[in-house]
Structure 1
Amino acid sequence: MILTGPDIAFEQARGRLTLQPFSGDRVQPNSYDLTLGPTLAYYTGDVLDTRAENPHREIEIPAEGFVLRPDRIYLGSSVEEIGSNHYVPIIRARSGAARLGVFVHVTADLIDIGSVGQCTFQLRAVEPVRVYAGDRLAQVTFWGVQGDIVLYDGKYQGSRGPQPSRIHQDAAAQVTA
């Protein structure tokens, strides 16, 4: 079951989901619009490695915007802190961004129940696209759950700003186990 826009606003007011800052004009029929924060990150290595921390660079998006190139993945973040202990958030591009060829949450669109923080966007452009801090690029939907709830307590809990991959920590944990 997906929450409707009015239900999203109601559940946010009740404290059953987090959307901060919250603005009523961002409530859509079945979603809530998320805005791009002021910082982007991108990896600087020639080959990305799942077993190592990958070097990356962070930049502030200038007032004139920043052009996403098609040959790399960029990490941005939502301005909004999102999450819920009662619903599962799913992040997707808004249709306007998608129609420009911008993938906002490349494949990891599900946010675990109990995870609260700014959402890292995995931005990929099909062709060069200029983006600006504050652009409404993404939307979040909230889905009901069935069964026992186990709240997320992982390595990205409480994220602020774009977060590079920490998949290498999974391999390190396997070695020490």
Structure 2
Amino acid sequence: MILSGKEIKKNIGKDIIIEPYDEKKINPNSYNLSLSNELLVYDDYVLDMKKENKASKIIIPEEGLILEPNKLYLGRTNEFTKTERFVPMLEGRSSTGRLGLFIHVTAGFGDVGFSGYWTLEIFCIQPIKIYPNVEICQIYYHDIKGEYDLYKSGKYQNNIGIQPSLMFKDFE
């Protein structure tokens, strides 16, 4: 079952941590998260799952940055989130999707117990100008039924910055 916005609000500071929190970002069944002013882009065109793929940082200026089509950008939310009771899920906002901007290409499913900033997989269909701090995606929460273990993976837990793929660690 998906939590309503009122239920999310009721759990803030207890079973749901969102920092910074702004009550104006609550929706009927989600909470809007915003884009930090940093992006990462991979240095090589061909990526290798078995190797650490180097990436370079781009700063999004206040006047905006034009993203190129067919290029993967990694961003992150300004907000730190944590929950040990609910399953967090992330989706792009419909307003961004209607501009051909995809915010979370595949990994929108969070694990109960995830703690950190969300790395966003950003991809656009046509050139688009983006801005720092824009409300770009939304988090929502599912209740979880039955016994469960908390997410404890060392790969992405308690991250501070944008997290490129650490899949190469699966091959070690």
TM-score by length of 1: 0.94
Show CA shifts across 1:39-96 (max 9, x none).
1001010210100000110121112111111121100000001121000110000010
Write the distance in 2 (CA, Å) between the matches of 1:78 and 1:46: 25
Match of 1:164 in 2: 164
Deviation at 1:161?
A: 2.2
Task: Give the secondary-structure state (helix, strand or coil) at the position aligned to 1:112.
Answer: coil
8 A contact 1:39–1:161 mirrored in 2: no
TM-score by length of 2: 0.97
Match of 1:148 in 2: 147
Write the distance in 2 (CA, Å) between the matches of 1:68 and 1:23: 28
Deviation at 1:4?
A: 0.4
Task: Give the secondary-structure state (helix, strand or coil) at the position aligned to 2:12.
Answer: helix
Q: Which amino acid aligns with 2:18?
A: L
Match of 1:36 in 2: 35
Q: How many residues align?
A: 171
Q: Which amino acid aligns with 2:161?
A: G
Q: Which amino acid aligns with 2:160?
A: R
Within-5 A mapping of 1:2-151: 2-13=2-13, 15-151=14-150
Structure 1: gaps spanning 5 or more residues: 173-177
Task: Give the secondary-structure state (helix, strand or coil) at the position aligned to 2:9.
Answer: helix
Task: Give the secondary-structure state (helix, strand or coil) at the position aligned to 1:134.
Answer: coil
Write the distance in 2 (CA, Å) between the matches of 1:44 and 1:89: 31
Deviation at 1:119?
A: 0.3
Q: Which amino acid aligns with 2:139?
A: V
Write the distance in 2 (CA, Å) between the matches of 1:90 and 1:114: 12
Write the distance in 2 (CA, Å) between the matches of 1:57 and 1:137: 22
Q: Which amino acid aligns with 2:117?
A: Q
Identity %: 35
Task: Give the secondary-structure state (helix, strand or coil) at the position aligned to 1:97.
Answer: helix
